[in-house]
Amino acid sequence: MAEEQYGLMILGTGPAGMTAALYGQRLGLNTIVIGDIPGGSTYMIEYLANFLGFMEGISGTQFGTMTFQQAQNEGAFFTLTRLEHLSHKDTLFIGVDVDGKEYRTPSAIVATGRVPKRLAVFNTNLRGVHFYSICDGPLCRGKNATLDVVGSDNAAAQHALTLARIADKVLLICRSDTLIMDAVHKNQIEQQNNITLIMSTEVTGYNGQEVVDGIELTSKEKDQQNIAVDGIFLAIGSRPNISTLNIEVQKTPDGYLKTNETLMTSVFGLFAAGDVRDTDMWHVLTACSDGAGAAK
């Protein structure tokens, strides 16, 4: 298919990108999607319990696969390659993938989501620091492991609950004195005998030579202490994934793309959907809504 036949380019294969592809095709736009993982980061969701219509819940992997198949069946074309960079020249957006192939369209939707933050501590590059409990947690199965989760939101809760089925002990370390997760997650955490909450405490360092074997904790109530752990899982927030954009576009101080009521950015024809844009809800459901709105 010739490049000039595409009317819409979508960057990202998560819920926002998949929905935008589905709606774009149904609205009559010939749509191309650049991204290498069908479903995006939904594979990190063990159990999606709050998406309307799935009364029994659904795994993130299954949900992502289904959305990919639905958009593909509608006629959207997927490169299944990562984006190298997006630029803008004259009236066209130019997307180049990691294979060097170039795609040009008059309009584009950025749906590249977010990437997790790292702790700014000493020994930050030691192996054994993870972000995805579903993928990396099973590596500790059967090892009588003590695993550390850093964070206090829903993502931290999901990590802790997943790891509690694998490890002997899970330490959930929160910098603040309150949890900011949903009440459902709080109740589930409280019912797990092998999850220990450590509040008002910061992880200030990792111990180990090449692989993490402990953490340094600092709190107001106690002296600095070191605790042995077999792995660390971070859920301390995320940042927008916009490193591939070679376009001057208005952003918030935190780097999220600013959009108007039609989800268009400050660049005419460039839209943003899902977690990458300025929003106060980072949910699969709202990402899907954004994808539909941006395509329209």
Q: For 126-143, give the secondary structure using H, E and C.
A: CECEECCHHHHHHHHCCC
Instruction: Please indicate, yes or no, if residue 101 is contained in any of the structural domains.
Output: yes
- Please check whether residues 107 and 245 belong to one and the same domain: yes
- Please check whether residues 105 and 167 belong to one and the same domain: no
Mean pLDDT of the chain: 93
Instruction: Please indicate, yes or no, if residue 122 is contained in any of the structural domains.
Output: no
- Please check whether residues 270 and 224 belong to one and the same domain: no
Last residue of a domain, one of 234, 255, 277: 234
User: What confidence tens digit (pLDDT) does each residue in 41-85 have?
Assistant: 898 888 888 899 999 999 999 999 999 999 999 999 999 999 999
pTM score, whole prediction? 0.84
Q: What is the CATH number of the domain that holds 253?
A: 3.50.50.60
In the chain, the number of structural domains is: 2
- Please check whether residues 187 and 112 belong to one and the same domain: no
Instruction: Please indicate, yes or no, if residue 169 is contained in any of the structural domains.
Output: yes
- Please check whether residues 212 and 167 belong to one and the same domain: yes
Instruction: Please indicate, yes or no, if residue 124 is contained in any of the structural domains.
Output: no
Distance from C-alpha of 104 to C-alpha of 161, rounded to nearest angstrom: 44
Last residue of a domain, one of 184, 208, 234: 234
Task: Determine phi and psi for 129, rounding to 5 degrees.
Answer: -100, 125
- Please check whether residues 111 and 156 belong to one and the same domain: no
Task: Give the structural domain span for 134.
Answer: 129-234
At 1 the pLDDT is 41
Residue type, 89: K
Last residue of a domain, one of 194, 219, 234: 234
Q: What is the dihedral of CA 149, 12, 84, 234, to 10 degrees?
A: 0
- Per-residue pLDDT band for 35 (boundaries 50, 70, 90) equals very high
pLDDT (mean) for 112-125: 90
User: What confidence tens digit (pLDDT) does each residue in 177-201 have?
Assistant: 999 999 999 999 999 999 999 999 9
- Please check whether residues 141 and 156 belong to one and the same domain: yes
